Structure 1
Amino acid sequence: MTTHRTDVVIIGGGIVGASAALALRGRGRAVVLLERDLCGSRSSGVNYGGVRRQGRLPIQLPLAQRAHGIWARLPQLLGIDGEYRRSGHFKIARSAPDMAALEAYAELSRDFDLGLQLLSAAQVRARCDWLGGVAVGGSLCPEDGQANPRLVSPAFARAAARAGATVLERHAVQRVDHDGQNFLVTAGEGGALTVQAPVLLNTAGAWAGALAAQFGEPVPMHSGHPAMAVTEPLPAFLPWSLGVEGGGIYARQAATGQVVMGGGQGLPLDDRRTRVDAPTLTQLLHQATALLPPLRHAQILRTWSGTEGYLPDRQPVLGPSATTPGLFHGFGFAGAGFQIGPAAGEVLAELVHQGRSTTPIDAFSITRFAPVASTCPTPAPP
């Protein structure tokens, strides 16, 4: 057995864990990153690729704004642009209540300077001849955009490795212990490697709940499996990344002409494998062609799904453990972690390096799921 001593051990090589590794190396910390499969191969690499701030609750917007600045310097950080472009994100209103909700959100988020533009039905018709007749208006965030998660997420891990982090893929964690001072993480086939570190980052995505529970912090997290599809290359027609107020289909057209779309839930085959079944795909395509008539004769090249972790309030856990010094959590991003992932990684690095973050994260504390002690008086003995 090999023992590796380091400053920080990270479990989970998605965009949060990998960006934390990169940020920690920038602060001079020695890092070992352990990934069960390939970095960015789970939800960080199979998501839709939307890079949006619009639609997030105000408690997430400081984190989203921080991430917005990180995305702007992606080539300098990673050496690639990841097909990131600020194409704009347009949220469609299909009814008067939907439009009222978008108007209310524009007011609610005004202090964050998202630059939202509310479009009337007439403006939508004038600007969106490619859109089916379902919209009564919408909200455009011009500086939001899209990227290719299959490029961006692994690139964070590669950048961390170039910066000096030890990145170990195909090293499933077998056991985690704590001796009062250090974490001892046993990983790899047959438990061939033990990593010893005073700090542990739990960024294991949909599988992070088990590790939190081991240290006395169970969370009510469940898994979701979003259904995705991509078309053949089509002539450019869709300028913005699209969402729908109240939920439903979402779609974007890549620079290659392919339209990436999602909606509904895929089918889990086991704890690692998922797929899109025929009824879900049929429903997705029906919604897609109603919303976007240019898709009516498009060929679907590929479908896929993945596994994401969801908490009841749809907000992540991000911050220190309340039970174990040196343990920090970053998980449960509920399908919306791609855009804020790089900022979450930087926050974790700040917490490790200086004990606090410049970005407000109190709302994401794991203590919000702590059992509430009963306030009922103890019955008097008979």
Structure 2
Amino acid sequence: MSPEVDSVATPNVLPGPVDVVVIGGGIVGVSTALFLQQKGFRVALCEKGVIAGEQSSRNWGWCRAMGRDAREIPLIQESLRLWKRMEGLVGHDVGFRTCGIAYPAATQDKLDAHAPWLEHSRIHQLGSRILTADELRALMPGPTGDFAGALYTPGDGRAEPARAAPAIARAVIAGGGTVLTNCAVRAVETTAGRVSGVVTESGTIAAGAVVLAGGAWSRLFCGNMDLDLPQLKVLGSVLRTAPIEGGPEISAAGSDYGFRKRADGGYSLAHGGLSTFDITPDAFRLFSAFLPALKSEHKGLKLRLSRRFVDELRQKRRWAADRVSPFEETRILDPEPDAKLLEAAMAAFRRLHPAFAAAREVQRWGGLIDVTPDAVPVISDVAALPGFFVATGFSGHGFGLGPGAGKLMAELVAGDTPVVDPTPFRFARFTDGSPITLDGGF
């Protein structure tokens, strides 16, 4: 079942020529459109379904620097600065609060395992620290059970996934930009070897640049353009509870739970240690590219063979611009959540704190997370096609990184000095012989 998402009223009338078309109405796409617009670009954003209909409304709602891959830290720092200003930027409350995030540890060994992160924190001045058991209880009064302590970053925060991308999209519209929903882009048009526009299901939009921010659909879209984007999909499962009195303000995660207090007083809850990986045909096609990640991260994945294998085997991988695309056949990815993982998470959640003991589930949902071989996003131009840019593969980090990623992408499109070094996020790293490594973020 899809989570409830704030609606965005769109006229759905194709614009005349624009400077940039953004494909995808998730947090990264709408943020890219916003920052391009602030630079004076004429922007049209095309979303095949509804704004934030997929993973941008289905994630935990965390905005964290703690535990990031070192290559992402400058980007999340910029993103957190933008999250703090977002209400003023867009004129709507997106629910951002600096609440702090903790990783409680039941044993000293588990607590010690977090210690290497403190060097990253020191270098980037993130303020992360190790809490004693007493300090943890002061921040999260009343937890049940014994804890050795926690890794804690006070500057990390939370926001409301169902509000954020729609609020940004409304700001784009208010600024004179075009936002089209239920309008799939079928193909990118080229003239003299560079981008000249897009073909949508409703007609053509002329543009000098195109940004693909398609989330879990990005590999399929690129494949139809003869661009090989190594990307797989991982299923995240989340539930929300009814309002709970007396629960903690901070967000926290352990081996089998991860939670965030919601603006309505309930909590969003997920399993803290496992996500579900459905074996698909792309898992075999990309096996060698993802082998290092599989060796490193296999303990965090629950592998299974499901109907998705057959569904993706039957899915069109090629289509013409004048034919119905896969993006029209499936407007919104709405996978079934993993019931067993959510049941385990709810059981751990209820044991964690007296206020959670009688927690009542209201809704659950699944979402497909776009993952790259090194778990670092692609935010980059594509040298093979001038004027084409890709922002995808956020590997479960996209909501928190979204505003910063949108700002960086706008700077790349504009040719301006980028806010952070974009080198780690280049598309070409998968083909230029660069070693694909995992930093060990968590």
TM-score (norm 1): 0.90
For 1:34-66, what per-residue CA distance to the aligned partner results, in whole angstroms no more than 9, with x for missing partners?
000111111111211111111112211110111
AA matched with 1:362:
T
AA matched with 1:204:
G
- My pick for the range that moved more, 327-336 or 129-138, is 129-138
Structure 1 unaligned segments of length 5 or more: list them. Answer: 374-382
Q: Decide whether aligned partners of structure 1 residues 108 and 210 sit closer, same or farther in structure 2, where only a CA change above 3 A counts.
A: same
Contact 1:238 1:252 in 2 (8 A): no
Q: Does 1:34 align with 2:80?
A: no
- Structure 2 distance, partners of 1:372, 1:57, is 21
- Which one of the candidate residues 115, 118, 121 is aligned to 1:109? 121
- Structure 2 distance, partners of 1:307, 1:369, is 22
Q: Does 1:251 align with 2:259?
A: yes
Q: Does 1:351 align with 2:419?
A: no
- My pick for the range that moved more, 95-104 or 234-243, is 95-104
* Residue 127 of structure 1, CA deviation: 4.5
* Residue 3 of structure 1, CA deviation: 7.7
- Which one of the candidate residues 76, 91, 96 is aligned to 1:79? 91
The aligned counterpart of 1:69 is: 81
- My pick for the range that moved more, 328-337 or 134-143, is 134-143
AA matched with 1:201:
V
* Residue 261 of structure 1, CA deviation: 0.6
Q: How does 1:120-269 map to 2 (within 5 A)?
A: 120-125=132-137, 127-133=139-145, 135-179=147-191, 180-188=193-201, 192-244=202-254, 248-263=256-271, 264-265=274-275
* Residue 334 of structure 1, CA deviation: 1.1
AA matched with 1:223:
K
Q: Decide whether aligned partners of structure 1 residues 3 and 61 sit closer, same or farther in structure 2, where only a CA change above 3 A counts.
A: closer
- Structure 1 distance, partners of 2:25, 2:251, is 27
* Residue 93 of structure 1, CA deviation: 2.1
For 1:170-209, what per-residue CA distance to the aligned partner results, in whole angstroms no more than 9, with x for missing partners?
1012222322233331113xxx311121211010111111
Q: Decide whether aligned partners of structure 1 residues 292 and 183 sit closer, same or farther in structure 2, where only a CA change above 3 A counts.
A: farther
The aligned counterpart of 2:300 is: none
Contact 1:132 1:290 in 2 (8 A): yes
Structure 2 unaligned segments of length 5 or more: list them. Answer: 1-12, 277-305, 312-329, 435-442
For 1:214-252, what per-residue CA distance to the aligned partner results, in whole angstroms no more than 9, with x for missing partners?
4443122111221111111111321201123xx542102
Contact 1:217 1:370 in 2 (8 A): no
* Residue 303 of structure 1, CA deviation: 0.7
AA matched with 2:203:
L
AA matched with 1:157:
A
Contact 2:141 2:248 in 1 (8 A): no
Q: Secondary structure at the match of 2:95?
A: coil
- Structure 1 distance, partners of 2:146, 2:383, is 48
- Which one of the candidate residues 38, 54, 57 is aligned to 2:69? 57
The aligned counterpart of 2:356 is: 295
Q: Decide whether aligned partners of structure 1 residues 127 and 35 sit closer, same or farther in structure 2, where only a CA change above 3 A counts.
A: closer
AA matched with 2:40:
G
Contact 2:139 2:250 in 1 (8 A): no
- Structure 1 distance, partners of 2:246, 2:80, is 26
TM-score (norm 2): 0.78
- Structure 1 distance, partners of 2:25, 2:121, is 32
- Structure 2 distance, partners of 1:155, 1:128, is 31
Q: Decide whether aligned partners of structure 1 residues 268 and 68 sit closer, same or farther in structure 2, where only a CA change above 3 A counts.
A: farther
Number of residue pairs aligned between Structure 1 and Structure 2: 368
AA matched with 1:291:
L
Contact 1:206 1:308 in 2 (8 A): yes
* Residue 101 of structure 1, CA deviation: 2.6
Q: Secondary structure at the match of 1:7?
A: strand
The aligned counterpart of 1:378 is: none
